[in-house]
Amino acid sequence: LPLHDALPIYHKITSDDWSDGISTVTLAEGAVPADRDFELVWTPKTGTAPVAGIFRETIDGDTYLLAMVLPPAAPSGPVAPRDIVFVLDRSGSMGGDSIRQAKAAIALALKRLRPADRFNIIRFASDHDSLYTGLRPASVANLAWAEDYIRNTKAGGGTNMAPALSLALTGKRQKGRLKQIVFLTDGAVGNEAVLMKLIEQELGTDRLFTVGIGSAPNSYFMRHAARLGRGAFTHIGNQSQIASRMTELFEKLERPMVTDLSTTWNLG
């Protein structure tokens, strides 16, 4: 797959040209202490048509395949109106930097809503509450109430996620509108199986996107929840990542390029 770029997060590297999608990467400083993950973020080249790639590896006689389908560049023009529900974890484990990052992420997301969009915000800790009883238009007045609601949110209490998630999943998508749920949490839960079952049973045609907050979120839970929710997982580890990662997420939410994928395997 031809790449636009490949950038390291925590280490300096040297590499060949990425134009044909093949490159040799080495650490610029040679051997370094293994005190952090090596993370390389790559961006594929996009065009007017989707691109597919398949990777194959055989280990001990078993063949493993990884298929990747890259959507085309997002077109310009109008986008479909959306119904979007933000679910914010304000439990005690979210105290300090985590709750500040989550609040800043929602504040940024609210600014991207259009007048045709509708939204609501649900908060949870030991109990849960919501800004509105249902979805409301993204009017100037309603957004002002939302900004005040987020600004006054404080972390504290236990983590009772299921009722808030169930509330977000009520009210199915209306024809001509996208129904999306954005879940912001550090994932510090002890009933993962119950939550996964809830998503499977109640999601319907909704889409669930998870945003992991903090330096060490429960990535397993949030990746799996996003996979069940036919969405994506985004990690915000520090304040400097909020603008770029939330912008990237909302560009995906505003202009979905691929829907209802299916795969047929010829095993004969």
The whole-angstrom separation of Cα 76 and Cα 52 is 23
Lowest mean pLDDT among 61-75, 162-176, 247-261: 247-261
The whole-angstrom separation of Cα 163 and Cα 178 is 23
Q: Residue 150's pLDDT is what?
A: 94
Residue 21's pLDDT band (cuts 50, 70, 90): low
Q: Which residue has the higher pLDDT, 182 or 52?
A: 182
Average pLDDT of span 54-71 = 87
Q: Which residues contact 174 (CB under 8 A, 6 or more apart)?
A: 83
Average pLDDT of span 70-75 = 71
Q: Residue 58's pLDDT is what?
A: 92
Average pLDDT of span 180-206 = 85
pLDDT digits 0-9 by tens, 28-52: 988 888 888 888 887 777 777 777 7
Q: Residue 169's pLDDT is what?
A: 87
Average pLDDT of span 51-73 = 84
CA angle 122, 124, 126 (to 5 degrees): 155
Q: Residue 20's pLDDT is what?
A: 65
Residue 64's pLDDT band (cuts 50, 70, 90): very high
Quickly tell me which residue has 């509708």 as its tokens.
118
Do residues 130 and 120 touch, judged by C-beta distance below 8 A?
A: yes
pLDDT digits 0-9 by tens, 130-160: 999 999 999 999 999 999 999 999 999 998 8
pLDDT digits 0-9 by tens, 81-122: 889 999 999 999 888 888 988 899 999 999 989 999 999 999
Tell me what percent of the residues of the chain surpass a pLDDT of 90: 28
pLDDT at 73 over 80: no
The whole-angstrom separation of Cα 29 and Cα 47 is 35
